[in-house]
Structure 1
Amino acid sequence: MTDSTTEPSSGRDRLRELLDAVLDEDNARLSEMAGQAHASPFHFSRLFARDTGESPVALRRRVLLERAAWQIGQGTSVTDAAFTAGYGSVEGFTRAFARAFGHPPSATTSGSGRWLPAPNGVHFHPPIHLWVEENPRGRPGMDLTALQTHHDVDDTDRLIALAADLPEQDYRRVWEPGRTVLAWDGPEGSIAAALDRLVRSREVWLASIGGEDFPGQGPDDPASIRARHEAAGARWIAAVDDIGRRNAWGDRLIDALCDPPESFLLGGVVAHVLTYSAHRRQSVRHMLRAAGVEVGHGDPLEWLQERHGAPNRHRTPNERGDTT
């Protein structure tokens, strides 16, 4: 039997599909959940429990109780919250609520904790959305600095590849006269100049961190920019990873390449590079579009979707129409 829960559907997130079936307002019974997923109740339950560590009915009951707690904390009556959560009586709802939260619904306040223990990290998130914890069982979470660093390097590589296909006059044309990101770097109103500053920023800071001589100015033709970026990008990722591994964000770098020498926190150096790299990448995007090149947003959300194999673009909650 072919079953939509065995493989991701085109353009859809698999976990989202399973949760949609379980939490749809019209799917109060297991048979209705399985029907939406085009599976038998047995097969649907087995796959859902395997992927979430919780049965469909248990997850639905828990998330609806979390939603009810939030609603009561916002002023909804216990009676209305009970029937909205699918309970046939206020008494039954009150018993289930008290067992789950350790206090009756009437004791719920706006500041009360509303998340119940969950093996999968799936929770109600007001007003009508879901929240999925990455590490509900204490697993290491996402390293935000590593994510930003890898995205920065990868996105720069994409922009360099697009720029390489431009005619020379468009590559060097000053699209944004007078644009200066940092005064000491000078104007960078062309694609060539902006890409050079993107790469050179890493080259200079890597030299400072590594105690090397101040790097000479490299060539800025597309092939040379790409070669410089490949070398500096790989070293930069390794350097940031080493700082994080040693938890050395608060270590101070005495930068003798400055005149006079200056002192910088390593965490500040990484934040500096990421901040101005993001600025320059968006500037390059504007110039590429002016040159008639189709270029994406550079959104880390879209980048993560691609890395995890989900082809759909990121949508806002309003566009998704998420409901519990």
Structure 2
Amino acid sequence: MTEDVPTGRDRLRELLDAVLDEDNRTLTDMAGDAFASPWHFSRQVARGAGESPVALRRRVELERAAWQLQAGRSVTEVAFAAGYESVEGFSRAFARSYGRSPGSRTTGPGPVARDAHWLPAPNGVHFHPPTSLWVTGDQGSRGGDEVTALLVHHALEDTRALLELAKGLPEPEYRRVREPGLRVIEWDGPEESLAALLERLVWTTEVWLASVEGADHPVRGADDPAALLDRHDEAAPRWLAFVRDVSRRGAWGDRLVDALCDPPETFVVGSVVAHVLTFGAHRRLLARHWFRAAGVPVDAGDPIDWLSRRTS
């Protein structure tokens, strides 16, 4: 993901960086990367994570190996990628942890579940594909949040309604520059037309969905209204299902440590959903203003009216 780098010090990320860096195969390597003695580093990680640095690295590497095996990689390839000197040694470690051989499959064709490869952990730190970490929060302190799920449902249906409305616009009106230089978010690029604004609504969902699902970075598709509708209809139900699952589990405090960022960044799941809702609402209201400027009648996008129509 591309995001402003947090200004506060993220000690969790610093420790995980040192433990899980590809070049840090030994405790000495890890400690050196954190500018600490092996004894002090090991004590610091164990106190904060409830797990020694070597055990934490070994478990996360096994979780990554399990995910790679579920995705179709060979046992030999996965074993050496995980740092084992032999396939036999890897197979023994895998069987001790998962209670089955690495050659057995537990899932059929199709996407692998986000947590199907997770092992029990005292700290909630787990491998999250393709190269990230997922840190579960304290789920016992929060219940479900149906209001947030409702807001997300409204936002997705409201976006779809605007995309349908855009299908009736002449191409020049759809792509007309209406506010030169406009950037809703500085790092997100210019959004000077209805075409750019509506595409960014869809793209934002696609990108964050790939991040939380552990998928590869999505390929950006066409931005005409019909293509955007297809893209939206593919991503929207999956995003809503993800938010409902987070709500059901009370997992708003879970964290995604995104290693694709440089340096790696930590995103709290609840803040990701709030981010999408906040800037999505701004874009939809701005799109309505521009639709009216183009002579197209459009409603207010009020969630009250939307829910009344659904329940009447």
Separation in structure 2 between the aligned mates of residue 272 and residue 257 of structure 1, nearest angstrom: 19
TM-score by length of 2: 0.53
Q: 1:277 offset after TM fit, Å?
A: 0.4
Displacement of 1:142 in angstroms is 8.0
Give the Cα separation in 2 of the matches to 1:268 and 1:182.
Answer: 16
Partner of 1:262 in structure 2?
Answer: 265
- Choose from 177, 180, 184 the match for 2:180: 177
Offset at 1:259?
2.8
1:144 is the counterpart of 2:142: no
Kindly indicate whether residue 232 of structure 2 is the aligned counterpart of residue 225 of structure 1: no
Higher mean alpha-carbon deviation, 260-269 vs 141-150, is at: 141-150
8 Å contact from structure 1 (residues 208, 257) kept in 2: no
Distance 2:287 2:199 in 1: 11
Mapping 1:109-148, distance limit 5 Å = 143-148=146-151
Q: Which segments of 5 or more consecutive residues in structure 2 lack a partner in the other structure?
A: 1-142
Question: Which residue in 2 is equivalent to 1:127?
Answer: none
Q: 2:306 corresponds to which letter in structure 1? A: W
Residue 248 (structure 1) aligned to one of 247, 251, 267: 251
SS in 1 for 2:153: helix
Q: CA deviation at 1:154?
A: 0.5
Q: Deviations over 1:24-66 (max 9, x none)?
A: xxxxxxxxxxxxxxxxxxxxxxxxxxxxxxxxxxxxxxxxxxx
CA shift at 1:232, angstroms?
1.1
What one-letter code is carried by the residue in structure 1 that aligns with 2:209? L
In 2, Cα distance between the equivalents of 1:255 and 1:289?
40
Q: How far is 1:141 from its partner? A: 9.9
Structure with higher RCO (Cα < 8 A, 6+ apart): 2
Q: Alpha-carbon deviation of 1:214?
A: 1.2
Does structure 1 retain, via aligned residues, the 8 Å contact 2:144–2:249?
Answer: no
Secondary structure of the residue aligned to 2:257 is: strand
Retained in 1: the 8 A contact 2:197–2:287? yes
The answer to whether the 8 A contact 2:144-2:250 is kept is no
Structure-1 separation of matches of 2:157 and 2:256: 26
**Match of 2:300?**
297
Query: What does the per-residue CA deviation read over 1:60-86, in whole Å, with 9 as the maximum and x for residues that have no partner?
Result: xxxxxxxxxxxxxxxxxxxxxxxxxxx
Query: What residue is the counterpart of 1:164 in the other structure?
Result: 167
Report the aligned-residue RMSD.
1.6
1:215 aligned residue: 218
Equivalent-residue separation in structure 2 for 1:151 and 1:254 (angstroms): 28
Question: In structure 1, what residue type is equivalent to 2:199?
Answer: D
Note the C-alpha offset of 1:145.
0.6
Say whether residues 1:188 and 2:191 are aligned partners: yes
The residue identity in structure 2 corresponding to 1:173 is R
The amino acid that maps onto 2:191 is: E
Q: 1:163 to 1:257 in 2, by over 3 A?
A: farther
Q: Measure, in 1, the Cα distance between the counterparts of 2:260 and 2:163.
A: 28
Superposed, 1:1-324 pairs within 5 Å as 143-309=146-312
* C-alpha deviation, 1:260, in angstroms: 2.5
Contact 1:152–1:274 (8 Å) recurs in 2: yes
How far apart, CA to CA, are the structure 2 residues paired with 1:308 and 1:142?
20
Unaligned runs of 5+ in 1: 1-139, 310-324
Q: State the alpha-carbon separation in 2 of the partners of residues 203 and 142 from structure 1.
A: 23
Deviation string 1:263-315 (CA, Å, 9 cap, x unpaired) is 01100100000000000001111111111000000011111111121xxxxxx
Query: Aligned equivalents of 2:186 and 2:244: distance in 1?
Result: 29
Which stretches of structure 1, 4 residues or longer, exceed 4 Å deviation after superposition? none
Per-residue Cα deviation, 1:220-279 (whole angstroms, up to 9, x for no partner): 011110000001111110110111111110010112332332101100100000000000
